[in-house]
Amino acid sequence: MLIVYLVLSAVWIVLSDYGLRLLIDDVDSLTRGQTFKGWVFITLTGLLLYLLLRWQERKTLSLKNQVERFAQTFGHVPLGVAYLNISGEWVEVNDSLCRMLGCGRGELRQLDFVTMCTVGNTAVDSTDMRRLFWGDVDTLSVETDFRRADGARLPLRVTGTLVRNARGEPSYVVAFFENLSRQRHIEQRLRDHLENSPLAVLELDRNLCVSYWSPQAEIMFGWSAAEVLGRPWITWRFIHDEDRQWVEDATAELLSRRSSRSVIRNRNYTRSGEVRDCIWYNSILIDEQGDVLSILSQGNDITEREQAYRELRDAKKLLEKIFVSLREAVFVIDPKDRRIVACNDAVTEILGYRPEELIGRDTEMLHVDHEHFERFSRDYDAKLAETGTVQMEYQLRRRDGTIIDTENTITMIDAGEALEATQVVSVVRDISARKQAAEQQRLAAMVFDNANEAIVIADAERSIVYTNPAFHKMTGYAAEEVKGQGPTMLDPGIHDDTFYNTMWETVDHDGHWQGEVASRRRNGQTYPTWLSISAVRNAAGAVMNYILIATDLSEQRRLDERVRYLSFHDSVTGLLNRPAMVERLEQAIIHCQRAKRDVAVLILNIDRFKMVNDSLGHAVGDLLLKQVARDLRGAVRAGDSVARLAADQFVVVLSELARPDDVGPVLEKITASVGNLQSIDGQEVYVGFSIGVALYPRDGDRSEVLVRNADVAMNQARAEGGGRYRFFTRQMHDRAVDLLAMEGELRRAVERGELKVCYQPQISVVNERIVGAEALLRWQSKRYGAVSPARFIPVAEASGLILPIGRWIFEQVVRQTRIWRDEGLLSGSVAVNLSARQFREAQLAQTIRESLDREGLPAEALELELTESLVMEDAVQAAKILAELKAMGLRLSMDDFGTGYSSLSHLKRFPFDTLKIDQSFVRDITVDSDDAAIADSIIAMAHAMGMRVIAEGVEDAEQLAHLRRRGCDFAQGFYCSPAVDPETFQALLRGDWRLQDQASRLEHSPGP
């Protein structure tokens, strides 16, 4: 510091003098300048000296504090600590070291540190220790025995650490002394425990080699410690070959520290090759750093115990097998309270109970009633006391309540010392079959006499000896007329001798024959029978009798004919079904192809048939189908075919047409005779048809193509409102293909993210502020560009895509509404349109509830819009669904009100909050008095019923003013804003909603 100061001072003096001479020529001024320069130098020098003194003072104080703290730590640390210079001389020691070694500081300084650490220690010599002071090593740790001043030997661990100066030269050594007496004591106790343990003890090092082998292990397995130590645990032939892999896996799991202890049962080899069953208790030992040091295993030879257990188990299994396999139900009963102690599985077959249902229960539950049980007990007690064994027949009640006859053998057995009292074993046999056998023999004759099948018993010569009444009824012959005759007397002459010879040869060879045979009644009538012949042989195998059983197949033949009829005809109308229609159509195509004629396929769909079924019932619907079938058959020619395809669809195949124009008169006749008012079961029903026509060969040359194209034409007729017919055209086909392609694009649009939800503001008519919005779906297709909802929504509805798209819309709207509400931009509700398919989905309420719960949005923030026609399709079911949605807290709105056919009586049943006036009434509201009157009526009616009113399609200020005068609540339309993306709608919420310039740039996209 002094040198720096002198250099800087000299530089200052030289440079300042040189500078003054350059700037000042006058001697007096130069003198004054040098004087001022001198005072500045003195002031700066004094200030610098003051700062240096303050810095030195703080550094000295800090060093003093550090020394004091170090002295306190050094004096109170529980380990012995000493400082030695690089000559090995003691510099300083703490009190703990003096107490540990039993000598004072003066006595300790007389000891040579290196000699003290190496006496009696063969692992480290004095040269190794002195390398620490020479600077060859930085740390050295040794264990040694030190003899204290009182003569006691003290085991120590001495750890020396070399401290180097700034130049890296050895400066001094810090030595730490740790008393190992307690550790040595614990190790000795553990060693004594292991040496004297009755278990075999071994220790494995980190490499899974044996590092310790106890005396008991030598006794147990025959190997001495010298033979075992250092051997690999796994590969050494100590573990049984079949157990080695899983023992290795268990050991690896233990080493991986996934568990600190484990118990392993395995087989081990002794030195002589004998296999012993052992159980090993394993634990891991870890060092100070937490690493696995070794595995300690204690094993016990359980071979004899395992052998005894196996023998006991085998004996038990044998007894259990005998016990379980007995066909008789066996009970072990406690005679004191007559409770069931045990039973076998046969009780399930005999009595219907599972064994666990009976054990511990009173045997009375198995008897018919209490009186029966008391009577049995008296007989049982008396006889058992006399003989010790009782055999009785009595009835028992099965689990299902049925009564069975049983034979019971009851025996008293000596339970031995295991039980306090003698036990009772009851063996129950079900003799119901035996008792019933006699009854069955008696009934056999009754069955024979009362069987529906004709039964004939013939002797070995095939002469009839007995016939039953059914035979006489079936054939018309009396018993005396056929007795002694052969069965061939019933042959009508249809089968030849070869047939009968083969039949009887089969009976004699196989013992049985069955097949269909023609028979003849007494009146000469021929009828089919199913004949079964069996040969009855005696013990020697000789035929004693033949039993012939014949079943009259006449009724079966009639049923078969009915089945064949139904396989090609509709069960309700009697018309041809689809397979039969296809076959007829293919035949007509082949025939007309040869004859150069045309074929027409007409598919007719009954308009609104579902409404008839739902409102009047399926019985009326079936009557309507039958009436339509009769009228269709009457409207076509004799050679034409009429079939029913589905519930409300029919097919007419017109063949042999000279030209395509011949279809016209038939169509007119069908619509005239069928499409009119029908009276069905007292109900007047108007029947209209949507008819599609396809012509062969113009529209196809195969049956499936013609049916498909006729179906396309029929769907076109339905789409146009029904009650008409349409001929198939190529444009229809192209439109169907286009719709199919659009469906595919729409499916991919969901994945590509081409769909987006836009929002059209709803404003208050009074103050023209935004109070809500209607969420509208838009599709920007890569293939089609901007697609109108009027095009893709019906495709989504028909294909079922409307359901996943609808769930996606709910998620988007709920999430966005939650954002606007959190930012305080929107307090009203956002309306979402529901399609018919969504409305009928069973999980609709659950889907909406999950979306609301996921975002934490209150239900009143969401409004569901349903069209008037959708609700009125099934008003009763709609009322139930709407009530469920309303109970969730959702707001409900009827869209396009005034365009449907709902009545006020229906409307008041629905819990709607809002009516939306259809834009068709709003468009000309200022110029058309009828539209104005309708709108005014809707507003007045809705308010009277407590509902709000929204006018759709408001496009100018005059319309808005008219609605304001009539008391309409809200409005939406292009005058307010078209549907815009969420970002633009958010800008509308933050500022003025009347962004006319922006609205004019947006394409007018009609539809939802």
Residue 356 forms part of a structural domain:
yes
Same structural domain, 284 and 352: no
Task: Decide if pLDDT at 287 tops 80.
Answer: no
Banded model confidence at residue 900, pLDDT cuts 50, 70, 90: low
**What pLDDT was estimated at residue 533?**
92
Same structural domain, 815 and 916: yes
Among residues of the chain, what percentage have pLDDT more than 90? Answer: 20
Same structural domain, 845 and 861: yes
pLDDT tens-digit profile of 628-667?
A: 888 888 888 888 899 998 888 899 999 888 888 888 888 8
DSSP for 332-397 reads EEETTTTEEEEE-THHHHHHS--HHHHTTSBGGGGBSSHHHHHHHHHHHHHHHHHHSEEEEEEEEE
Angle between helices 618-635 and 609-616 (to 10 degrees): 140
**What pLDDT was estimated at residue 167?**
86
51 vs 59, higher pLDDT: 51
**What pLDDT was estimated at residue 60?**
66
Residue 631: strand pairing partners: none
Domain span at residue 40?
1-73
Task: Decide if pLDDT at 145 tops 60.
Answer: yes
Q: What does the pLDDT average to over 681-700? A: 82
pLDDT tens-digit profile of 439-463?
A: 777 777 777 787 888 999 999 898 9
Residue 309 forms part of a structural domain:
no
Q: What does the pLDDT average to over 8-13? A: 72
Banded model confidence at residue 320, pLDDT cuts 50, 70, 90: confident
pLDDT tens-digit profile of 211-259?
A: 999 999 899 999 998 888 988 887 788 899 898 888 888 888 888 876 6
Same structural domain, 843 and 936: yes
Global confidence as pTM: 0.40
The CATH number given to whatever domain includes residue 853 is 3.20.20.450
- Say how far residue 228 (Cα) sits from the centre of its chain: 55
Same structural domain, 322 and 296: no
Task: Decide if pLDDT at 612 tops 70.
Answer: yes
**What pLDDT was estimated at residue 905?**
56
From 37, 57, 73, give the residue that closes a domain: 73
Same structural domain, 329 and 273: no
Q: What does the pLDDT average to over 540-546? A: 89
Pairing of strands 329-334, 423-430: antiparallel
Same structural domain, 516 and 664: no
The CATH number given to whatever domain includes residue 679 is 3.30.70.270
Maximum pairwise Cα distance, the chain: 181
**Considering only 337-351, 580-594, 750-764, 988-1002, which range has the smallest mean pLDDT?**
988-1002
Same structural domain, 53 and 83: no
Residue 472 forms part of a structural domain:
yes
pLDDT tens-digit profile of 379-424?
A: 777 777 777 788 888 889 999 999 999 988 888 876 544 444 578 8
Pairing of strands 862-867, 891-897: parallel
Among residues of the chain, what percentage have pLDDT more than 70? Answer: 91
Q: What does the pLDDT average to over 923-932? A: 88
**What pLDDT was estimated at residue 235?**
79
Same structural domain, 645 and 538: no
Q: What does the pLDDT average to over 80-93? A: 87
Q: Which two tokens stand for residue 684?
A: 């007047």
Residue 204 forms part of a structural domain:
yes
Phi, then psi, of 762 in degrees rounded to 5: -115, 125
Banded model confidence at residue 821, pLDDT cuts 50, 70, 90: very high
Q: Which of 148-162, 311-325, 376-390, 520-534 has the highest mean pLDDT?
A: 520-534
Banded model confidence at residue 782, pLDDT cuts 50, 70, 90: confident
**What pLDDT was estimated at residue 1001?**
37
Task: Decide if pLDDT at 1002 tops 70.
Answer: no
pLDDT tens-digit profile of 633-642?
A: 888 888 889 9
Residue 997 forms part of a structural domain:
no
Same structural domain, 337 and 276: no
**What pLDDT was estimated at residue 512?**
92
From 144, 178, 212, give the residue that closes a domain: 178
* Size (the chain), residues: 1008
Q: In this structure, are residues 548 and 465 in contact, taking their beta carbons and an 8 Å threshold?
A: no
Q: What does the pLDDT average to over 867-889? A: 83
Q: Which amino acid is at 808?
A: W
**What pLDDT was estimated at residue 122?**
59
Q: In this structure, are residues 447 and 461 in contact, taking their beta carbons and an 8 Å threshold?
A: no
Residue 705 forms part of a structural domain:
yes
The structural domain count of the chain equals 7
Mean pLDDT of all residues in the chain? 83
CA torsion sign for 720, 723, 724, 729 is: positive
Residue 538 forms part of a structural domain:
yes
**Considering only 348-352, 372-376, 473-477, 516-520, which range has the smallest mean pLDDT?**
372-376
From 558, 581, 612, give the residue that closes a domain: 558
Same structural domain, 412 and 512: no
pLDDT tens-digit profile of 728-741?
A: 887 766 676 677 77
- Residues 920, 791: Cα–Cα separation, whole Å: 20
**What pLDDT was estimated at residue 1003?**
40
Residue 919 forms part of a structural domain:
yes
**What pLDDT was estimated at residue 120?**
60
